[in-house]
Amino acid sequence: MKFITSDKRVHILDAHSNVWSVIMDIADSGVQEEAFYVCDLGDIVRKHKTWKSFMPRVQPFYAVKCNDSLAVLEVLTALGTGFDCASKAEINKVLALGVNPNRIIFANPAKPSSHIRYACATGVSTMTFDNETELHKVKNLYPDADLVIRIRCDAADAQCPLGMKFGCDPVTEAPRLLEKARELGLNVIGVSFHVGSGCREPAVFEKAIAAARVVFNVGLELGYTFDLLDIGGGFPGDRGTSIDEIAEIVNSALDTYFPSPSVRVIAEPGRFYVSSAYTLTCNIHSVRDVIGDDETTRHKMYYINDGVYGSFNCILYDHQRVVPQPLHELPATKYYSSSIWGPTCDGLDQVVEEVLLPEMQIGDWIVFENMGAYTLPVASPFNGFPVAKVHVVADENIWLLLKDILPLTEEHFVMNRAPTNLKLGFEDVERVAVSKLPIRMHVPGANSEHVLEYVGFLQDGN
C-alpha cells in the first residue's frame, strides 16, 4: 500500500471514456461528497496544437499565475513552451521542473528586490519594466539583465483590464524611459504589452503591435537594436471559443510591422491553455424554496459545496460568468427560476444569480465547464470548506505522447475504462498492478514518432 494523492496520478482513458463519463463514475460512486475537478491533459495538448497552427511565428510563454498546478506545468514543459513568471516562487516552481532559465520571462514590471536577486542568481535574465525606479533597481541588482519595456495598449472591452496598473504610454513615456535606460547602460532588448485578460476586441492587437513598432524605432534612434516582441496574453480559452480572429490580426500585423524574422515574437497566454481543460462538479447539499403569495414555489435556492471563496473566486476576481449544467438529465416537465449559492455563511457567496433549472434535489450534482483559469490558485478553504481536489485524466493517444517526455513513473498511470479505482482524493490508493498497464508502456518509443507528429511541437525548446 502506498499513499499517493489523486492529483499526482494521471488516469488513462480508453476510447469508451471521456471527461463526462469519468465525472459520472466519481459522482455516482456513492462515496463522493466533496466537489471535484476533472482535468483533461489532452485538452491542453490540443490547445498547444491549435496555437502552433494559428500563430506559428509566436512562441507561447504560459502565464503561470493562471493555473500553477504541476500537471499543467509538466505538460507544458514537455510540449516545449516557455513560461511567464511574476515572482520568485513561480520562477522556482518552473525551474524545479528542469526548464532552462532562458525559457522564462519575468514579466512583472514591479518586482521586489529580493526577487530580482533571485532571478539574477538563477540566470532568468529576461524581465519587463515600465517605470524609472525599476530601472535603478535592476541597475543595482542585475545590471546584465535583458530588459523588455512594457507599453500600455488596452482593449476597449476586456474581462479584466490591466492597463491602469501596468504599461507606460508608448508615446509620452517610453522615449524618456529608454533614454534613462541608455544613460544607465542597461540592456533593453524589446517591447511587451498586454491588451487585457479576456480581450473581446481582437483589433486592439493590430494597434498594440503598431505602437510597439514605434517604440522599436525610438530604441533604434537611441542605439538599441531590439529583437524581442512580446504580445502578452488576452486570448480566449473556453470551450467553443477560437483564437482564429485574433491570430489573423496578429499575423497580418506582424507581416506589416515586423516582417524581419530577426525579431523573435513571443506571447504570454494564460487562460487560453487551461480554461477548458478543467471541469468542476459540485454537490447540492441544501435546497430552499421561496414561496410566493399564491402559496406556490416561485424561486429555488440551491446550496452547493464550492463557492466564491473556493473555485468560484473567479466570479469576483476574474469577472467570470459560470454556466451550471445538471450532471444527469432530469425529467424536465417544469423549469424553475433558480439561484445557486456557495457553502459559506457569507451573503456574498453566490455562484449563479438567476437561471432556469429543472427541479433538483439534495445530493444531485451540477457541472461547470471552463473552470481551469484563475480558479484553483486563488481558492481558499474559508469557513471550513476544502478546496476541490483534481483528478487528472488523459486519453490513450495523449498518454502515448506524454509518457516518454514527462517526468512520470508507471505508478502515475492507471489504465481503466473508468477510474473506478479512484479513491476520490482523500484516502490511500492501491498500487496499480503493472499487468493492468497497456502493453505499449513496456516498448519505449513505440509509436512515438507518429504521436509527436500529432502535436507538431518539435521545433520548440526541447
For residue 246, which of 201, 211, 209, 212 has the smallest C-alpha distance?
201
Cell numbers 507538431 correspond to what residue? 456
Q: Give CA–CA dist 7/391, Å, rounded.
A: 6
List 47, 48, 65, 152, residue binding ligand PLP (CB under 6 A): 65
Per CB under 6 A, does 235 bind ligand PLP? yes
List 66, 189, 266, 327, residue binding ligand PLP (CB under 6 A): 66
List 25, 43, 74, 84, residue binding ligand PLP (CB under 6 A): 84
Q: In the bound complex, what is the minimum distance in angstroms from residue 287's beta carbon to ligand PLP?
A: 35
Q: In the bound complex, what is the minimum distance in angstroms from residue 265's beta carbon to ligand PLP?
A: 15
Per CB under 6 A, does 233 bind ligand PLP? yes
Q: In the bound complex, what is the minimum distance in angstroms from residue 196's beta carbon to ligand PLP?
A: 7
Per CB under 6 A, does 236 bind ligand PLP? no
Give the gyration radius of the chain's Cα atoms: 24
Q: Which residue is nearest to ligand PLP (CB)?
A: 233
Q: Which is nearer to ligand PLP, 235 or 309 (CB)?
A: 235
Per CB under 6 A, does 271 bind ligand PLP? yes
Per CB under 6 A, does 364 bind ligand PLP? no
Per CB under 6 A, does 226 bind ligand PLP? no
List 32, 197, 283, 338, residue binding ligand PLP (CB under 6 A): 197
List 25, 268, 349, 395, residue binding ligand PLP (CB under 6 A): 268
**x-or-dash string of contact with ligand PLP, 299-338, rule CB under 6 A:** ----------------------------------------
Residue 345: active-site member: yes
Which of 66, 160, 168, 345 is catalytic? The answer is 345
Per CB under 6 A, does 194 bind ligand PLP? yes
**Chain contacts with ligand PLP (rule: CB under 6 A):** 63, 65-66, 84, 107, 194, 197, 232-235, 268-272
Catalytic residues: 345
